[in-house]
Amino acid sequence: MQKRNVKSGALSLAALPLAFAGLFNTASAQDAAPPAMTAEEKAVGKKIYFERCAGCHGVLRKGATGKNLEPSWTKKDKDGKETSGGMLKLGTARLEKIIALGTEGGMVNYDDILTKEEINVMARYIQNVPDVPPEFSLKDMQDSWKLIVPVDQRPKKQMSKINLKNIFATTLRDTGKLALIDGDTKQIWEILDTGYAVHISRLSASGRYVYTVGRDGLVTLIDLWFEKPTTVATVKLGSDARSVDTSKFKGYEDKYLVGGTYWPPQYSVMEGDTLKPLKIVSTRGMTVDGEYHPEPRVASIVSSHIKPEWVINVKETGMILLVDYSDINNLKTTTINSAKFLHDGGWDITKRYFLVAANASHKVAAVDTKTGKLAALVDTKKIPHPGRGANFFHPKYGPVWATGHLGDAVVSLISTPSAKPEHAKFKQYNWKVVEELKMPGAGNLFVKTHPKSHHLWADMPMNPERENAEVNYVFDLRDLSKPPVKIDVAKDSGLPVTKALRRAVHQEYSQDGTEVWISLWGGKTDQSAIVVYDDKTLKVKKVITDPKMITPTGKFNVYNTMKDIY
């Protein structure tokens, strides 16, 4: 593929801060007619936007991780002018280039995903007024609920001899399916239908149930105790969703599930073993800046280990909610101001502090779940994206938590507190970025380590260049001054080179910490794979391929997900 210099002035979005923030709206922009589209083209644009764009740019296109895509700046004035008040409005030709080639801010190139015709459709579609999906009520949720296997008809004990703790719940993104892979034998145990593009899989506190949530808002409850994994219930949360988690505190194991939606902006509470809908709470309201926002999407959700609480992060408002689930009928919520555009995050090594990326604010917010207060707002490089992050002990700075960045070529290490007396000497570094590990480019989505490993793995799947998107870099935690080892995942897979990139994404450790599994995410019509590495030697142990292994992305090891090990 021809190399693209996305930092060149011709394609850079950095020069458009005000326009991309959606801060200008002139009469000429309002009066200009959007590009003409047929009903068929609008249907195509709507489908592609939902599948590929809404997650970063929002259903209403107001932006968050991605830029604002409202027509006030995407289309030219009716007189054809491209600027107003010194601010650039893009128009079809320029939008086509940006969509095709990507940007330095973490947007991938779509010239190997979409056809030229589809790129043109999208360039015109986002110059039209956004479609507003319908609301979704508790009754809508109840009507969608399907209890397929009642609790009293399920096994009383595990029926198979599979080591359930080392199962990998693997998203097959574009097929709307989940592959459950036996981590011991590397064989696919079962493939089940789920929602479209499952964002995460979460485990019940007991490890019996797998919960998936698709970007289409469908939650699927899978029981691992059957001889073959079986879907026992489903429910719709809305039209777009990203997060679920269970009740983990002692006495509430497997009792509740909470799910957050991007549209409508709200979170829902369900019974943990049936998905019976119980409650919906809206997240619409004021931002930390005191402005009303109509689409404050629910991003990451985690379950506290020290209280019967969920940590619910509301993206656009910058509000972090600590929701006490001990009394569902009378919810008690602590609202913590942090920074806007909250996204994903994870626990520190003590599981007292939750660290979440406020990615378009270029900060990480740390919440003390014991006191119910904000512990710190840490400045980072551009667009931090930690996944769950990675915890390890730094020889100079003590316990640290790591995050990579979509928009900068570093992995940042943030010092976190420890109550151990021998760690008192590290207190001076707490909540500071103590070191930045250099990467060859931006576009990182996940960093990962394990308590039994001395390696830190970092991917770059959102980088537009093949030599970056198809590899991982591995840092030696015993000596971070050493350059990282480059792991060419695409080459190691043995698969033939195709025009479309195969993005090496989402590293996940095995239960015992000896293996690292990496998805090689190809096109829907190209062969994909999961490449398994020996974490000690960094050598390939197994390449898992199968005709049904289509567009694998996230993989969630049952034990590590249950215990929040990362």
HEC string of 54-105? HHHHCCCCCCCCCCCCCHHHHCCCCCCCCEECCEECCHHHHHHHHHHHCCCC
Measured between alpha carbons, how far is residue 390 from residues 32, 207, 401, 439, 492 in Å? 48, 22, 5, 16, 25
Active site residue 293: no
Tokens of 363: 């900060």
Active site residue 53: yes
Active site residue 454: no
- 35 touches 75 (CB < 8 A): yes
Active site residue 107: yes
State how far the Cα of 524 lies from the Cα of 513, in Å rounded to an integer: 31
- Give Cβ neighbours of residue 496 (< 8 Å, ≥ 6 apart): none
State how far the Cα of 198 lies from the Cα of 195, in Å rounded to an integer: 6
DSSP assignment of 213-249 equals E-TTSEEEEEETTSSS-EEEEEEE--SEEEEEEE--S
- 415 touches 378 (CB < 8 A): no
Q: Which of the following is catalytic: 56, 141, 439, 549? A: 56
Tokens of 41: 């083209």
State how far the Cα of 509 lies from the Cα of 493, in Å rounded to an integer: 18
Active site residue 57: yes
Q: Which of the following is catalytic: 385, 405, 455, 506? A: 385
Instruction: Find the length of the chain.
Output: 566
Q: Which of the following is catalytic: 57, 199, 362, 506? A: 57
How crowded is the C-beta side of 205, counted as CA atoms within 13 Å? 18
Q: Which of the following is catalytic: 53, 141, 460, 549? A: 53
DSSP state of 11: T
Instruction: Return the CA Rg of the chain.
Output: 23
State how far the Cα of 549 lies from the Cα of 543, in Å rounded to an integer: 12
How crowded is the C-beta side of 352, counted as CA atoms within 13 Å? 11
Buried b (16+ CB within 10 A) or exposed e, 38-68: eeebeebbbebbbebbbbbbbbbbbbbbbbb
Q: Which of the following is catalytic: 199, 293, 343, 455? A: 343
Active site positions, annotated: 53, 56-57, 107, 343, 385
